[in-house]
Amino acid sequence: MPAAARILVVDDEPDIRATIKDILEDEGYAVDVAESAAAAREARRRQRPDAILLDIWMPDLDGISLLREWSERGGLPCPVIMISGHGNIETAVEATRLGAWDFIEKPLSLAKLLLVVGHAVEAGQLRRENEGLRRQMPAPGDLVGSGKAIQALRAQIEKIAAHDTGVLVVGEAGTGKETVARALHERGARRAGPFVTVAAGAIAQGGAAVALFGTEDGGAVQQGLIEQANGGTLFLDEVADLDPELQLRLSSVLERRVLIRCGGHESVPIDARVVAATAHDLAALVAAGRFREELYYQLKIVPIAVPPLRERADDVPDLLRYHADWFANRDQLPYRKFSVAAQNRLRNHVWPGNLRELRNLVQRLLVLGGGSDIALEEVETALGSEAVAAAPMPVAAGKPSIDFALPLREAREQFERAYLLHQLGLAGGSVGKLAKAVGMERTHLYRKLKDLDIDPRGPKAAEEG
């Protein structure tokens, strides 16, 4: 179940702390209290609050100084509401400059207290949701369609979303596994909480532990992605790409429901639903000793299999219409309609790149084509250019063969894909060796491979490499 919003009350007056605690708990909030700046630091270190009520005048360190400390050491953890019995304009201006959300004055007004706290909690939740969306916007329309396969998938999502259990989403690359994870989140009890994506393959290896588990250095706390998902959903995209050390640490977090930040010593409670996804056979990786068995079973409490697009032929016309409309609106492109012959041709296409390939095709046809209708001949030409781009380019007289009739961007993509497939084959499928061979940082390389629809572990890449 989703956790109640947590409020930290920092005030040196016992009566004030007790009164605010009782009021907020009666409203359904979880409340921690601290009588000093030192106690507030410790409470914040233990668990991230959703809002903080901070008294300005305290014996050990005043609230403005503590606010400045938090602001300068990693940013404010959440909206901070200042409490003052005798504040002044200068104090208010300084607190606002440091990022304070609002002011309330003593003696406290019950109505204003609840109003300000409620707005602050909502603002903090919205900020975390927006941060999650900025990390990786979901692809559009992956659950569009009315065929039996997609109907069965939607029914399965509805049933599983009602339970707060872990889920392993499996399916080929490009089938829309993240959209399934988001659908589980949006239909579940944690929908108001954050949706945090961990793209395992895109995390720089040297900083992966910090990115996932956060850091702690004295009073400075930097929350990792796992902790940021508290109250919501943690989506582990392509979990097979986690290295053995991270697999071990993640397994411990899932088992104990707590984590220890890098550089820290105290455990931090974790309350997030975990949805993992992979395009690989985790059971085979376990048997080969490349994936931890205990983590495999922790993730695979409830499995969901996402069907490839070639098994959803009946959905293709709906998907074409949906994406044509979506790209036309997003990119301000002329709307174009697929002819019946074009739709029928694409219904029978095998779609090796699944939904990712379909989206790419639709966008290209809208950008490069003319006229209101997309004819069969135009689709055949587009599919033919895809086949050329997908094949390794032969080398003649020491030079790669490139279709010079293509626009510059597509010709460059054609060369980059063939070049990386060739180098990947020489590297034996190892992305680490590939990164060294081509002189790219691994995070950027993973993104490039994804953009070019190259799966370093997939059979297609292996054959073409």
- Flag whether pLDDT at 427 surpasses 80: no
Residue whose pair of structure tokens reads 């930040």 in the numeric block: 261
pLDDT value of residue 301: 93
- Flag whether pLDDT at 392 surpasses 60: no
Specify the DSSP class assigned to residue 216: E
Look up residue 110 and give its amino acid: L
The values of phi and psi at residue 199, to 5°, are -85, 95
**Per-chain mean pLDDT for the chain:** 83
Mean pLDDT over 77-87 rounds to 81
Specify the DSSP class assigned to residue 307: P
pLDDT classification of 399: cutoffs 50, 70, 90: very low
Look up residue 268 and give its amino acid: V
pLDDT value of residue 265: 85
pLDDT value of residue 312: 93
| CA–CA gap between residue 318 and residue 358 (Å, rounded) | 12
> Dihedral of the CA atoms 117, 121, 124, 128 (nearest 10)?
170
Six token digits for residue 4:
């109640």
Q: Which residues pair with 66 in a beta bridge?
A: none
| CA–CA gap between residue 126 and residue 122 (Å, rounded) | 6
| CA–CA gap between residue 124 and residue 5 (Å, rounded) | 10
Of 278, 316, 315, the closest CA to residue 300 belongs to: 278
Of 167, 177, 169, the closest CA to residue 136 belongs to: 177
- Flag whether pLDDT at 315 surpasses 80: yes
Neighbouring residues of 20: CB distance < 8 A, sequence distance ≥ 6: 9, 11, 31, 53, 108, 113
Quick check: 79 and 123 in contact, CB under 8 A? yes
157-210 pLDDT per residue, tens: 999 998 989 999 999 988 999 999 999 999 998 988 889 998 887 675 667 888
Q: What is the CA radius of gyration of the chain?
A: 26
| CA–CA gap between residue 66 and residue 54 (Å, rounded) | 9
pLDDT value of residue 276: 96
Quick check: 317 and 352 in contact, CB under 8 A? no
Mean pLDDT over 72-77 rounds to 70
- Flag whether pLDDT at 396 surpasses 80: no
| CA–CA gap between residue 96 and residue 286 (Å, rounded) | 53
33-59 pLDDT per residue, tens: 999 998 998 888 777 889 999 998 888
| CA–CA gap between residue 226 and residue 205 (Å, rounded) | 17
Specify the DSSP class assigned to residue 262: B
Quick check: 298 and 255 in contact, CB under 8 A? yes
Neighbouring residues of 144: CB distance < 8 A, sequence distance ≥ 6: 150, 315, 318, 319, 322
pLDDT classification of 256: cutoffs 50, 70, 90: very high
Task: Tell me the percentage of the chain whose pLDDT exceeds 70.
Answer: 86
Quick check: 362 and 329 in contact, CB under 8 A? no
Quick check: 238 and 299 in contact, CB under 8 A? no
Six token digits for residue 247:
């697999």
The values of phi and psi at residue 233, to 5°, are -125, 135
> Dihedral of the CA atoms 150, 152, 153, 158 (nearest 10)?
130
Q: Which residues pair with 237 in a beta bridge?
A: 199
pLDDT classification of 438: cutoffs 50, 70, 90: confident
Find how far residue 195's CA is from the centre of its chain: 6
Long-range CB contact pairs, 18-22, < 8 A, 24+: 19/108, 20/53, 20/108, 20/113
pLDDT value of residue 404: 62
Quick check: 385 and 403 in contact, CB under 8 A? yes
Task: Tell me the percentage of the chain whose pLDDT exceeds 90.
Answer: 42
In what helix (H) or strand (E) does residue 349 lie, and over which residues does it extend? none
Of 205, 219, 213, the closest CA to residue 270 belongs to: 213
> Dihedral of the CA atoms 385, 390, 394, 398 (nearest 10)?
100
- The sheet carrying 167-170 orders its strands as 195-199, 233-237, 273-278, 167-170, 302-305
